[in-house]
Structure 1
Amino acid sequence: MKRIGLLGGTFNPPHLGHLWIAEEVRIAMELEEIWFIPTYTPPHKVETKIDASDRLNMLDLAIRDNEYFKLNTIELERKGKSYTLQTIKALKADYPDHDFFFIIGADMVEYLPNWYKIDELIQLIEFIGVKRSGYKLETSYPINVVDIPMVDISSSMIRERVFNERSVKYMVPDPVYRYMREYKLYEN
């Protein structure tokens, strides 16, 4: 069985924290690949103002230098709101020879009781939780915890900094930084 880590999100924009988490979890859990799954519209957030194609392009630029990182567009293709349960069922049907591990930050660990059909989902996949500033890695649900140094960067922080004309140069990979500047993403 091929061991695959899944990292989902809006990636609005993708940043070094996403990459750091993915690489640390890949190594610690001995995963063969990490699949980044950008969502079209997550069920727990308001719609993003940045087009899905821009987020996909930035994510592609962010991960292309790591041979273990792959893009999976299953949720973008579905359009609309995506639930993890739908995604996991589809991936397991399409890749029966893969074991999947879903990587989530501590904010989502705390939110697990609110996930769509969490009791069914927890039977289909193992969760891997990582630290996030301001949140605890505590839940009644079974999760594997990977202890990694925290990088206190968030997509919302980056959007706010760009909007306020502050630099984000070392918070996002250089190709993402150039893309954001070229297309004037997040600017006021």
Structure 2
Amino acid sequence: MACAHAVTFARARSSRARQRGGLSLVRGNGASGPIGVFGGTFDPIHFGHLRTALELREILGLADVRFIPCRVPPHRDKQPSAGALRLDMVHAAVADEDGFSVDEREFERPGPSYTIDTLASLRAEVGPRPLCLLLGMDAFLGLPTWHRWTEILDVAHVVVAHRPGWVMPADGPLGKLLAQRRSATPEPLHEDAYGCVFVTPVTQLEISATDLRRALARGDDPRFLVPDAVREIIMRSECYR
């Protein structure tokens, strides 16, 4: 597998890459290109989620980003808002964006929504096509607490999006993982079906779903924090009041 030798990637740049705004952008391969897997409770989905997904789609050359709402988050004591409303909001948020889609498989499966189970079911469907699990830095730092986390790279790549200036772990299980599997370029995400870690800065919009829920509970208007279609669902349902 190409990403078994991380040093090699630091010396190589594919002719498929192009530069724009200081970011290396890879051209996607249409129906055969990598699939981005973007999971979360999306409670509610907001422009921070959408901007990150858009930039990663462009940087990595993803053919599609699949938003996968989590039905039962294993690491949360408090359960999220009603699943049907969260699904409606995600569908509304991505409806007009080419290359974005919604995958409801975690709502069709009983029990906790473990990422490894979701990735394994996707792998069974797409065969050798590359899968890229898209994570923010906070999620990546918590990765060792996830159910069967060491198996994730056996079915997918891991892409870590962070704000400029973040320092990646140099020791512990994540430091070891990065030393063994990190790629300096996104090209191996197209060449292999799974097994690489790629880290890239993205624009970080300071929008927190937790803070947004608190503001909504006070009766604040979420305009310019969420898409208009999502705002309409929130205001009509009063789901956070």
CA contact (8 A) 1:5 1:101 kept: yes
Instruction: Please name the residue that 1:162 is paired with.
Output: 216
Instruction: Please name the residue that 2:137 is paired with.
Output: 106
Instruction: Please name the residue that 1:152 is paired with.
Output: 206
TM-score (norm 1): 0.93
Task: Output the CA distance in 1 between the equivalents of 2:109 and 2:200.
Answer: 30
Provide the secondary structure at the position in 1 that maps to 2:35.
strand
Instruction: Please name the residue that 1:4 is paired with.
Output: 35
Shift of 1:98: 2.3
C-alpha root-mean-square deviation of aligned residues, in Å? 1.7
Instruction: Please name the residue that 1:122 is paired with.
Output: 153
CA contact (8 A) 1:130 1:137 kept: no
Task: Output the CA distance in 1 between the equivalents of 2:153 and 2:95.
Answer: 31
**Structure whose CA Rg is larger:** 2
Does structure 1 residue 175 correspond to structure 2 residue 229? yes
Provide the secondary structure at the position in 2 that maps to 1:41.
coil
Task: Output the CA distance in 2 between the equivalents of 1:69 and 1:47.
Answer: 28
Task: Output the CA distance in 1 between the equivalents of 2:78 and 2:163.
Answer: 23
Length, aligned pairs only: 186
TM-score (norm 2): 0.73
Task: Output the CA distance in 1 between the equivalents of 2:124 and 2:151.
Answer: 16
**CA separation of 1:132/1:76 partners in 2, compared to 1, >3 Å: closer, same or farther?**
farther
Provide the secondary structure at the position in 2 that maps to 1:104.
strand
Mapping 1:26-41, distance limit 5 Å: 26-41=57-72
Does structure 1 residue 52 correspond to structure 2 residue 91? no
Shift of 1:2: 2.9
**CA separation of 1:77/1:161 partners in 2, compared to 1, >3 Å: closer, same or farther?**
same
CA contact (8 A) 1:131 1:137 kept: no
1:26-61 superposed Cα distances (whole Å, 9 cap, x missing partner): 000010110000010111113435211100000000
Provide the secondary structure at the position in 2 that maps to 1:43.
coil
Instruction: Please name the residue that 2:94 is paired with.
Output: 63
CA contact (8 A) 2:163 2:201 kept: no
For structure 1, which segment, 93-102 or 170-179, has the greater mean C-alpha deviation from structure 2 after superposition?
93-102
